[in-house]
Amino acid sequence: MLIGAHVSPAGGLAKAIDRGVERGARAIQIFNQSPRMWRATVYRDEDVSAFREAMAASSVDAVLIHAVYLLNCASEDPDIRAKSLASLTHSLRAGAAIGAAGVVLHPGSAKTGDVTKAIGRAGATIREALAESERCELHLENTAGAGGTLGRSFEELAGLLEAAGGDESGGQGDRLGVCLDSCHLFASGYDISTPTLMDSVLRQARRLLGAGRVRSLHLNDSQTPLGSNRDRHANVGAGELGEEGCTAFLSASGLQRLPCVLETPGENRQGPSREEVARAQALHERGVGERKKNGPAGGGARKKR
């Protein structure tokens, strides 16, 4: 598993690699533009080249881009959907340029409207973004379930994948995956607090989403209890999941080839630190070792692109 952290690209795209190395990260996640603004950041060829060179010379083996929070691919407002399409397409193109493992997307919100219709709108928007871009994968993130957010269950994620063309093998559908967030799983009612429970949840995911559909991970503890439907990240081991729950998530055999980034608040809300990344890596090593007593935990890391 490639464990790392969300970092800032402020000061230049390649600076994100430096910040990942400072934290001992094997994977990093960045925003390719301000997460609360529609205005896109355009990378120059020299920015992309510097990023790729820095990554090739570093211990960072995978990078994810997180799409901006403003996006709502399911909006009933055509203007919001158009802006969401443009922003998502831009992120996918940026991801292809820098060799990202994928763009992570909050699928959208039905707000108070019909969920089935919202899934259809989101799927159509996502399908168009994939058609207008190349190579880079798109990972739909599961949500905590607050309000009308889509993706709170594996059933909803399966519906989104189908609506976006995920069942069309050999084409754009192969670029569609899922990003599993540990906090969101727990908050939406999936108990992953022990290895047995975590394995049961992953069996549900494989049955409903298909084998190999989970492509990336977010490790976050949860400030709120099981089924709270509240998206409140806690530092690793300091929330309702605790060390045991975080270890169960990190050591699950079906997840061992994936990039896994921390999005925790950190001390003084400065984000994940080197110490917290190291703690997650230690919990992973401990959990995999414990699982090996009862069978292999899986292994191998994705190669750099």
**CB neighbours of 188 closer than 8 A, spacing ≥ 6?**
142, 143, 144, 145, 152, 153, 227, 229
162 lies in a domain?
Answer: yes
**Is 298 inside a domain boundary?**
no
For 83-105, what is the mean pLDDT?
98
Residue range of the domain that includes 258:
2-292
**Is 126 among the domain residues?**
yes
Please indicate, yes or no, if residue 303 is contained in any of the structural domains.
no
CATH code for position 239: 3.20.20.150
26-84 tens-digit pLDDT = 999 999 999 889 999 999 999 999 999 999 999 999 999 999 999 999 999 999 999 99
Decide if 302 is inside a domain.
no
Task: Give domain status of residue 297, yes or no.
Answer: no
For residue 77, tell me if it sits in a domain: yes
Residue 220 CB contacts under 8 Å (≥ 6 apart), including other chains:
181, 182, 183, 184, 233, 234, 236, 262, 263, 264
Closest CA to 60 of 11, 135, 103, 7: 7
Q: Is the pLDDT of residue 305 over 50?
A: no
Model confidence at 130, pLDDT cuts 50, 70, 90, reads: very high
Q: How many domains does the chain have?
A: 1
For residue 282, being part of any structural domain is answered with yes
List pLDDT tens digits, range 144-160.
999 899 999 999 999 99
